[in-house]
Amino acid sequence: MRTWLRNVYRATATIAAGMYVTLWYFVQTFRRRPFTAHFAYPERPVPIRPRYRGFHRFDLTTCIGCDKCARACPVDCIYIEKEKAPPPAKGFVVTGFKIDYTKCMFCALCVDPCPVDCIFMGSNYDISTYTRDGCIVDYAKLPLNVAWGQATLNPTAIHESKRVSLPVWTKTAEVAKATTPPQPTDAGQPATDKQPPT
Ligand code: SF4
Ligand code: SF4
């Protein structure tokens, strides 16, 4: 009987403690005001810390399409499209500068290799999205002042920069062949390109 009473007491106390935590957070949701009551975003920008690291700042007019930032990126999330500049101009015209923010980890390793200082980590957060659909941003389609972080809160321009109809990268036949594991042969050995000695 004593054991039964002790178990009943423990069960009741455990449930009461759990319900207290639930009730405490339930009340907090009413006590704290909504996000818009604090910051009035998007009408007014949300204050950020001085060293906040947000979306990139990119200057399309300076970029020479050298690919150094894309090669430095540890997760290969920068995709650059370029064309040969029409003569007598030299170099390239950058027609696309996409960053896939589903992969980007904001490490800033793409910033240092740039020879013309046209890409930096910015403090812009207006390009954020609630779904994965808008995570690929084409900086070549953004207005220059938005891409360079001088102007924000332009939802139409941001929407245009995120309209990517095709995959930014598809596996080529060579890469697919290189990454496909060798199929086992009838003898149970993995197939290789080596020819048997004659
Ligand atoms: S911040 Fe890092 S992960 Fe993001 S694009 Fe630059 S190098 Fe790649
Ligand atoms: S390293 Fe700089 S100049 Fe070269 S492609 Fe990247 S952003 Fe453009």
Q: Tokens representing 118?
A: 């046209």
Ligand 1 atom showing the smallest separation from residue 119 Cα: 6
Closest listed residue to residue 41, CA positions, set 135, 155, 158, 161: 155
Name the residue with higher pLDDT: 65 or 196: 65
Atom of ligand 1 nearest to the CA of 103: 3
Q: State how far the alpha carbon of 27 is from the alpha carbons of 16, 19, 20, 76, 96, in Å.
A: 16, 12, 11, 45, 49
Q: Using the predicted structure, report yes or no on whether residue 27 has a pLDDT greater than 60.
A: yes
pTM (2 decimals)?
Answer: 0.67
Ligand in nearest proximity to the CA of 117: 2
For 55-167, CATH number out of 3.40.50.2000, 3.20.20.370, 3.30.70.3270, 3.40.190.10 equals: 3.30.70.3270
Mean pLDDT of the chain: 82
Average pLDDT over residues 167-192: 60
Residue 134 has pLDDT above 70, yes or no: yes
Contact, 105 vs 75, CB < 8 A? yes
pLDDT at 98: 92
